Structure formats: structure tokens, C-alpha cells
Amino acid sequence: MKLVAAEKKVKKKSGHLSLILFVLPAFIFYILFLFIPTIGAGVYSFTDWNGLNKTFNFVGFSNYIEAFRDDAAFRHSFIFTLKYTIFIFVIQNVAALGLALLIESRIKSKGFFRTIFFMPNMISLIISSLMFSFIFTNVFPELSKQAIFSVLDQSWIGDPKVSFYSILIVSLWQGIGYMMVIYMAALQGVPKQLKEAAMIDGANAFQRIIHVVLPMIMHAITICSFLTLNGAFKVFDVVYALTQGGPGTSTQVMALNIYEEAFSNNFRFGYANAKAMILFLVVLIITLIQVRILKRKEVEA
């Protein structure tokens, strides 16, 4: 018995060692490329560092005060980012879930449609943005000459009222398929017996989705909501490639405003880090609230 117990302890220790060895490389990369830079950004946000000099002065909370009180461009970028996030969060999740439900009901062509809708996600968002830039500036003007496509006669990138929707179109085209696959994976885990029982009880298709399907896939809704909110608040590439924040600063998001403050304007790295920390705290707080609410729904379900 003692020999068996000793063997179990050895196996348990070797299992723990294997786990540590597998996790260690990812943990090292996390520390080097995420944790340390985040701490460094927090420290530099209280300085007037320009990103080049070895010396800098601590300025306290003046960078944060300037960002909130005096920087109208930063406040506008925050409002625009919030607007973009709300639109992306609602449309992307509703569309992805709707497509997942629709495709899941088509048994024969399920694999084909899953592949078609996921394919845009395999393309870099920068390449997608450049491709749509060509479509907006060259293809749509030609199509608008035909009476049936006259609605396309818009300045899709040059008009501040329309450029926001151009960014939305590209982001949704590229991102819906990824969320759809997550929802489809969750839908496959819903027991058929529950849906059949609801059908026997007289529930229609909409009632089955609301009262049976959605509670069973709440974990997928939590994941997709987290990914959508996180990505939307930190959006940079699609805006930079499509409009570069223009016309003027009408489509400038927070990440682009921070980038320009650090690299394109006065090389105010300390001030840019203060803005980055504000963005980090906003994303952290909203994500924690969202996850807490949806996790509670999971428990209730």
C-alpha cells in the first residue's frame, strides 16, 4: 500500500511538473510583452518623457488632467469609440447568432455556409480595409451610375456622416463569421430532447430560442460579448487603413489618437501613455461589469 501511495505521489508531481513546463513559455511571454510594458506605461504616464531622451521629469497627474480637461480631440475620440463599440457589440452578436441559428437548421449545407461566412476572418483586417477602400472609391462610383445602384452615390470615406458606416461595414464583414462559429459550437451542445420537449409543450420557434436555446448557450454569449467589447474599444487597424481618422478627426478612435500623440505629433510619449492607461482602465471596468453580469446569467440558467 505504501508503495502504491508513493507511486501516486510521484505521478502527481510529474503531472504538475509537466503542466508547469507547458505553461512556462506562455507565462514568460506574457510577463515580457504584456505585464512589464503595462507597468512601464503606467509609470511613464506620470512623466514628460518624449520617447527619445534618457531623462524625464515626473509631472504627477497633469497628463491625466490635460487629457480630460483640455484635449478636445481625445474626448471626441472617446465618444466615437464608444459609439463604434455599441454598434459593433449589438449588430455583430445579433447577426452572428442569427446566422448560427439559420445555418444550424440546414443539415446538408451546414459545412459549406460555415466555411463561406468564416473565410473573411482568414484575411488580415488591414488587407480587408484596403480592399474595401478600393471598392468604396472605385467600384461603388461606377455602380452608382446605374439607376438601380444610385443609392451607392455617396462619399463613403470622405463624408464624415458616411465614413462611420464604412468602418462598420468592414469590421462586421470581417468579424461576424468568427463569432458565428463560436455560437454554432455552443448550439451543437444544446440537447435535442429539450427542444423536442418544448415543441411538444406547444412552444413556437421564437419561444424555443428565448426560453431553451439562449439559456443553454449563455457561456458562448459571454465569450462573444467579451471578445467584441475588447476588440471594439481597442480598434485601430481598420480605421487607420480605411480613413486614417479622417475626414479631419471625425473618425479618430482612441487607439489612433494615442498613436498620433506618441508618433505623429510632438512625440509626447508620457502623455500618450496617460491616454493609454485611461483606455486600459475603461476597457477593464466595462469588461469586468459585462463578464460579471453574464456570468450571473449563466449560473441562473
Q: What CATH number did the domain enclosing 81 receive?
A: 1.10.3720.10
Is 29 among the domain residues? no
- Comparing 88 with 121, which gets the higher pLDDT? 88
Tell me the CA distances in angstroms from 168 to 25, 76, 182, one per residue in order: 37, 18, 21
Number of domains in the chain: 1
- Reply yes or no on whether the pLDDT at 2 is more than 60: no
Range of the domain at 225: 70-300
Residue 299: left (phi > 0), alpha (psi -120 to 50), or beta? alpha
pLDDT for 113? 83
pLDDT for 148? 76
Cα–Cα distance, 209 to 213 (Å, whole number) = 5
Of 46, 38, 37, residue with least CA distance to 67: 46
- Comparing 296 with 10, which gets the higher pLDDT? 296
Is 61 among the domain residues? no
Is 8 among the domain residues? no
Q: What is the DSSP letter of 262?
A: I
What is the pLDDT confidence band of residue 211, given thresholds at 50, 70 and 90?
confident
What integer is the mean pLDDT of 205-230? 89
pLDDT for 205? 81
pLDDT for 209? 86
pLDDT for 170? 94
What is the 3-state composition of the chain as percent helix, strand, coil, each rounded to the nearest 5? 80, 0, 20
What is the pLDDT confidence band of residue 10, given thresholds at 50, 70 and 90?
low
Is 22 among the domain residues? no
Our CA angle for 116, 118, 122, nearest 5°, is 115
* Backbone torsions φ then ψ of 156, nearest 5 degrees: -65, -25
pLDDT, the chain, mean: 87
- Comparing 196 with 301, which gets the higher pLDDT? 196
What is the pLDDT confidence band of residue 160, given thresholds at 50, 70 and 90?
confident
Is 62 among the domain residues? no
- Reply yes or no on whether the pLDDT at 22 is more than 90: no
Is 16 among the domain residues? no
Task: Give percent of the chain above pLDDT 90.
Answer: 49
- Reply yes or no on whether the pLDDT at 284 is more than 60: yes
- Name the residue with cell 509631472: 59
Is 28 among the domain residues? no
Cα–Cα distance, 10 to 1 (Å, whole number) = 14
pLDDT for 169? 94
- Comparing 142 with 63, which gets the higher pLDDT? 63
Q: Residue 204 CA to chain centroid, in angstroms?
A: 34
Is 37 among the domain residues? no
Of 198, 254, 273, 277, residue with least CA distance to 83: 254
Give the cell for residue 6: 508513493
What is the pLDDT confidence band of residue 63, given thresholds at 50, 70 and 90?
very high
- Reply yes or no on whether the pLDDT at 39 is more than 70: yes
What integer is the mean pLDDT of 14-22? 79
